[in-house]
Structure 1
Amino acid sequence: MAAATTASPATAPPSSFPSTTRPILRLSRKFKLPAASLSPDPSPAFQSVTAFAPATVANLGPGFDFLGCAVADASLSLGDTVTATLDPSLPPGTVAISAVTSPSRPHLAARLSRDPLRNCAGIAAAAALRALGVRSHAVSLALAKGLPLGSGLGSSAASAAAAAKAVDALFGSLLSPHDLVLAGLESEKAVSGFHADNIAPAIQGGFVLVRSYDPFTLVQLPCPPALRLCFVLVTPDFEAPTAKMRAALPKKIDIGHHVRNSSQAAALVAAVLQGDAAGIGSAMSSDGIVEPTRAPLIPGMVAVKAAALEAGALGCTISGAGPTAVAVIEGEENGEEIARRMVDAFWSAGKLKATATIAQLDRAGARVISTSRLLE
């Protein structure tokens, strides 16, 4: 039987996701999930629920730790899927992971722990059960990884978001998006620190601004529906450990660089609200603090950015901690050519093989894709 974890607020050990493990950063009381006030214990609405959560692009250039957006392809392969199932064989109020698969990367499944205390999906699911106040039922999870590890595409956030969404839907979708994000943050804090620029858009979709961490406040940035914003995501065969990439950041910042980056982040928010694709690309390309310190750690990244811009991309930067390079385009017409140039640049300048995906802005975020009725 798979290992089980209770939904009690016991401290979990760090996640075993490779290359991103960091010591747990404890949430202050202001960040803890609210104690469930639902009484009686909520009844299940389904026997099982399958939820999908998309990849995310964090930072978006100058928005380090406070800006991010969700991206997905038409086939929903660019993201993670979790099936949550009622499991009467487990102790009530517990979570177990019954299976971990990776259809497009079979070798990846063996690297992921099925211990729910050491897997992002398990941690988030247990947090969701606590928030719901579930005491009479247990849940097993089946995780299907669509995202590579250490890629800068929000792999851990996608697992957490899909798990939290599936568990919530299993019991009637009682949690608010804000509480789902907090459940996901229980997982994120265990793998890469307390930042919500991946988990918030993975849950809510679209562009999300983390206005404040204390008190925790999110702002969804409405983007005009007519904007045909697309992203060319090029991922080299190279892992960029989040801990290493964060350790490379400067400890002190020149006031001039701070002012310039702040203005570019504000310009990016304005461009999103106005539906200005060129403005979004220009602002994303203008990070003068984080990108310059991280790019040299990713072989070929500087050349890849130059190749994307020369090929007609509106902007290009590092996705999250990297190593994925993300270029912004309007429409998909030039996407394949820009992707080819970026892949070639990774090889010629960094001697790294790379794969490319053209994705769209995902406005939905984590969502239920299938359910099964309760057993009679």
Structure 2
Amino acid sequence: MFRVIKTYAISQTDTRNKPLDFIYTIPLNVKSTQFQSVVSMEKIKVKAPATVANVGAGFDILGFALEQPYDELELSLVNGRGKAAFLSLEGYGKGKLPENEKNLCAIAVQKVMDKLNITGKDIEIKLKKGLPVSSGLGSSSASIVGALYGANKLLGGKLGETELLQIGIDCEAVYSGAHADNVAPCLLGGFVLVRSYEPLEIIKLGGVNGLHVSVCHPDFELETKKARAVIPKDVPLKNVIKNQSLLTSLIYGIAKNDAALVARSANDYVVEPYRASLIPGFDDVKKAALNAGAGSCSISGAGPAVFAFTLSKKEAETVSKAMACAFSKNGLGSRRYVSGIAKQGVHAI
């Protein structure tokens, strides 16, 4: 059944029980009403945020939403035959991504329409892509989740978040394998933990006050399949133990709203050492971020984007500039972003 778990902590200076953020799990066989409504519409504009997956030691099970960058979509409900019609693409991916029924937005919308047995209407899709393709920032997830959310709203909001999550994971699997650590935070916002894939169970952990993120995306693409292929099946036990400690500290820090603990816990000794070789200058970029004041630094998702945690926006600006400079010294231009944790996921604008 659907569970809402409220946790408490005892402060050293205040012995009263203090409720933390709501932590709730979403088992696959339960419908949530958060994304359901009874009001239909003819047009909707949607904003879908970038996401950072893995977050250091949380490979394939942890992710969070960024306030920027993001994709914007416009979906319109018109008379037709139950088909998704992709009309236009602006921004990143122009000339690279398909602008037809093979676009992930169209695939996602079609899955919603098929699930709801829609036959007398079409949904037209316009995508303004603010996320670079194959960047490690959840570019495909943003397009998928934005399309799912918009289509569901246009058709009366009949699908709950669990159903949307499962469809999103299925769409993600088309090109990069089935994983939820981008789709889930894009849909739900904040930090999100994948407790289980079979059966699917997602835990929303919420945001962390005072935590800032520096993101630097070098000017090249790295396909998720290629980044996964370099990870060995066997890794040293001592590195697994280090990662277990880091991941536990990270989750505890999020639950306690302890930005300082979270900021110094996003490191990875299991996956990062093998993927680092795919990102020119990564070691220099990470060193530059830490020297500039970051608490920790790692690869965002499959890369090539790199992220770092800081405790102030000013520090985040300094760190992002240092990361960009390090990439430049390795012959790569880059784009940098400074962001907070987006507590709200995909939403209408």
Shorter-normalised TM range: 0.7 to 0.9
Q: Distance in 1 between matches of 2:259 and 2:274?
A: 26
The match for 2:15 is none
Query: C-alpha offsets along residues 330-371 of structure 1, whole Å, 9 cap, x if unaligned?
Result: 2202222211111111121x21111211011111101011xx
**Residues 1:99 and 2:88 are matched in the alignment:** yes
User: TM-score with structure 1 length normalisation?
Assistant: 0.81
The match for 2:323 is 342
2:64–2:341 Cα contact (<8 Å) kept:
yes
Q: Distance in 1 between matches of 2:90 and 2:84?
A: 18
Aligned length: 318
2:65–2:342 Cα contact (<8 Å) kept:
yes
Note the C-alpha offset of 1:138: 1.5
2:262 aligned partner, one-letter code: I
The match for 1:269 is 251
Q: Distance in 2 between matches of 1:322 and 1:237?
A: 11
2:87–2:100 Cα contact (<8 Å) kept:
no
- Of residues 336, 340, 345, the one that matches 1:356 is 336
Q: How does 1:89-128 map to 2 (within 5 A)?
A: 90-91=80-81, 93-102=82-91, 105=92, 108-116=93-101, 118-128=102-112
2:62–2:181 Cα contact (<8 Å) kept:
yes
Q: How does 1:160-309 map to 2 (within 5 A)?
A: 160-224=144-208, 227-285=209-267, 287-309=268-290
1:356 aligned partner, one-letter code: R
1:319 aligned partner, one-letter code: S
The match for 2:116 is 132
2:78–2:122 Cα contact (<8 Å) kept:
yes
Q: Distance in 2 between matches of 1:113 and 1:33?
A: 34
- The alignment-based identity, stated in percent, is 35
The match for 1:6 is none
Q: Distance in 1 between matches of 2:144 and 2:137?
A: 13
1:59–1:68 Cα contact (<8 Å) kept:
yes
**Residues 1:81 and 2:62 are matched in the alignment:** no
Note the C-alpha offset of 1:194: 0.6
- Structure 2: which 5+ residue stretches go unaligned? 1-26, 32-36
Q: Distance in 2 between matches of 1:260 and 1:340?
A: 29
Note the C-alpha offset of 1:263: 2.3
Query: C-alpha offsets along residues 102-122 of structure 1, whole Å, 9 cap, x if unaligned?
Result: 1xx4xx322111222x21111
1:232–1:335 Cα contact (<8 Å) kept:
yes
2:28–2:162 Cα contact (<8 Å) kept:
no
2:263–2:311 Cα contact (<8 Å) kept:
no
Structure 2 vs 1, CA of residues 223 and 361 (structure 1 numbering), >3 Å: closer, same or farther?
Answer: closer
The match for 2:64 is 69
Q: Distance in 2 between matches of 1:208 and 1:307?
A: 28
Q: Distance in 2 between matches of 1:80 and 1:203?
A: 13
1:208 aligned partner, one-letter code: V
1:282–1:315 Cα contact (<8 Å) kept:
yes
Please state which structure has a larger fraction of its residues in strand: 2
User: TM-score with structure 2 length normalisation?
Assistant: 0.87
Q: Distance in 1 between matches of 2:98 and 2:30?
A: 25
